[in-house]
Structure 1
Amino acid sequence: MRMRKVMAAALTGLALIGLAGTASAGTSSADYPWPPKDVTPVHKTKAELQEQADAFTAHQQRTYPRVFRGSRDVTPGNWGGEAEGVFDDMQYMGNTVTFTYQGQDVTTFTQVNAPGTHTWSPQEYCERTAECTGSASDHRGGLIVFARNEQFGITSARNFRPNGEVVWVQSWTPGTEAQLAVLVSDRAYTFTR
């Protein structure tokens, strides 16, 4: 059953990429209402956040070889903010994952933002900070916005969710948009559990 969910997510990610280059790929960043109404803030202790970070890491170790089919040596880094480690009432967590995929070394960076932390709307994000390349529905009421930074060779996907969370993943490896879409739309990455 779990494998079916991963495969369905991967196929959805591939479908999203097929749509991402078009302005009509579901909801556009200009049409997506942000911030959502009735956002419930999340406040957790350091112990609760560490438990969540450990669950994120275990999830990365299980799913990266499926999302990046055939990847090897998947090594998640420690979760934290500006530095490694978590602390009471932290409102976002990020980490890197390194692995070998199709014969090359790949690194991704993931950041999970608690509801209400990410204040820029998708449209503001695209206008102020990113060269957005498309958007698509995540089929759960959220919006995935794809962006590219040519200067640094970064491809990213950012999932704006109806509960006010924003999850983003970036890669320095071209051609990974489908995998990034699967990762950001994965509801295992959440502050609300």
Structure 2
Amino acid sequence: MRKVMAAALTGLALVGLAGTASAQAGQADYPWPPKDVTPVHKTKAELQKQADGFSARQEKTYPRAFRGAQNVEPGPWGGEAAGVFDDMQYMGNTVTFTYQGQNVMTYTQVNAPGQHAWSPKEYCEKYAECTATVSDHKGGVTVFAKDERYGIVEARNFRPNGEVVWVQSWTPGTEAQLAVLATDRAFTFTR
């Protein structure tokens, strides 16, 4: 419980910083890729076990990150389609739930070390409209972005081991919650 509360406070602090002059939208670069990135190679069975753990984590953390969320339903993990396979280097899923009386859906993607090629600065300059870039409390950096064409808000966490975890939503004003989830080190390929 303490870890979840610390993560929630960190997420709120990150979003709080996003509105201040100290947070910069892609201005400062984070060294990418990190030195000594160790690739991860797992079997389908290992990845499925990990995916099952990710889903259990989502069921536990969503009602805390999205205070009072109900009917949390993680979808299947996979790549371009549902399901995992040998040596997969990223996997994602959707989660649907009810939050403050509305139906909400998020998408989470966990990238193995070395899978995500763009630095935070490159991501902001070439691929996204970034609103803030802030350090997390674990040696990484979280980039907040939005895509107004589709109504998407996102938190993308770049980690010192070369992993990138991002969570996006189609619900405005959820950036703090997305940051809590994206910085959660339970979502990792390295265990």
Q: Same fold per TM (> 0.5)? A: yes
Cα distance, 1:30 vs structure 2: 2.9
- Amino acid in the other structure paired with 2:95: V
The match for 2:15 among 11, 14, 17 is 17
Q: What CA distance in whole angstroms lies between the structure 2 residues aligned with 1:40 and 1:8?
A: 28
CA RMSD of aligned residues (A): 1.3
Structure 1 residues without counterparts, runs of 5 or longer: none
Residue aligning to 2:86: 88
In the TM superposition, what whole-angstrom CA distance separates every residue of 1:127-174 from its partner, at most 9, and x where no partner exists? 111000001111111000000100000000000000000000000001
Q: What CA distance in whole angstroms lies between the structure 2 residues aligned with 1:79 and 1:121?
A: 25
Structure 2 residues without counterparts, runs of 5 or longer: none
Do the aligned residues in 2 keep the contact of 1:65 with 1:72 (CA within 8 Å)? yes
Which runs of structure 1 show a deviation greater than 6 angstroms over 4 or more consecutive aligned residues?
none
Distance 1:17 1:68, change over 3 A: same
Does 2:156 correspond to 1:152?
Answer: no
How many residue pairs are counted as aligned between the two chains? 191
Q: Which moved more, 1:151-160 or 1:5-14?
A: 5-14
Secondary structure in structure 1 of the residue aligned to 2:47? helix
Do the aligned residues in 2 keep the contact of 1:29 with 1:145 (CA within 8 Å)? no
Secondary structure in structure 2 of the residue aligned to 1:141? coil
Cα distance, 1:28 vs structure 2: 5.6
Distance 1:176 1:27, change over 3 A: closer
Identity of aligned residues (%): 79
Q: What CA distance in whole angstroms lies between the structure 2 residues aligned with 1:43 and 1:11?
A: 34
Cα distance, 1:31 vs structure 2: 2.6
Secondary structure in structure 1 of the residue aligned to 2:7? helix
Do the aligned residues in 2 keep the contact of 1:29 with 1:143 (CA within 8 Å)? no
Do the aligned residues in 2 keep the contact of 1:26 with 1:137 (CA within 8 Å)? no
Do the aligned residues in 1 keep the contact of 2:26 with 2:125 (CA within 8 Å)? no
Distance 1:170 1:41, change over 3 A: same
